Amino acid sequence: MADIRACLFDLDGVIVDTAKYHYLAWKRLCNELGFDLTEEENESLKGISRVESLNILLKKGGVELSPEKREEHLVRKNGWYLEYIDAMSTDEILPGVLDFLKAVKASGRRMALGSASKNAMHILEALDLVSMFEAVVDGTKVTCGKPHPQTFLIGAEAVGTAPAHCVVFEDAVAGVDAALAGGMYAIGVGEQSVLHKAHKVIPGFDGRGLEIFDEI
């Protein structure tokens, strides 16, 4: 049985599904640049930083931009994305998540958020979840994105817990890889076929409680 003392959560796809808003914003940008982006192609951007996502898309579309134009497009994409999430409410917290977070908190385990998003605090505020986490490590606080373990290592340090006693909840392969590279347990949230490298995979938090720590 794993001795879990801290839980580190990814944001998009684990606590809330903002992927649809990222997709709409990226698709809008791609369309302006002269090519399209399908939902299937958007899957490859999960867990990837904004800058790297743009690099992938520009390569896909065969578009070359100056550093200044790249930055301009990143700002525009983020502005569209923020318009979408500004309209979010607590109703968009994924099923079972709030109850699970409350149970973890009541158990005395530490909790931190580890997300590639630079808008993590903005989203947590919209969902009224800021008080749930002792630390929020987002894209503004790291120099190496997932699958590098830096995000989760900073999170573990922030809550004073050794990596060996941390479990990471992730919906992306890059995030699972980051957790494992950091010497942590990984619970995948999604499809077994995709997240099979995790110690355990669950479809979601609905109906799940602290017994999950006995299963890894």
Catalytic one of 3, 10, 91, 206? 10
Between CA 10 and CA 182, with CA 124 as vertex, the angle to 5 degrees is: 25
- Catalytic annotation present for 10: yes
Contacts of 50 (CB under 8 A, 6+ apart): 74, 77, 78, 116, 118, 139
- Catalytic annotation present for 12: yes
CA separation for the pair 123, 18 (Å, rounded): 9
Strand partners, 113: 9, 136
Neighbours of 4 (CB within 10 A): 23
Q: Is 11 within 8 Å of 120 (Cβ atoms)?
A: yes
Q: Give strand ranges (E) for 50-125.
A: 110-114
Contacts of 91 (CB under 8 A, 6+ apart): none
> What is the longest distance spanned by two Cα atoms in the chain?
53
The residues that are catalytic are: 10, 12
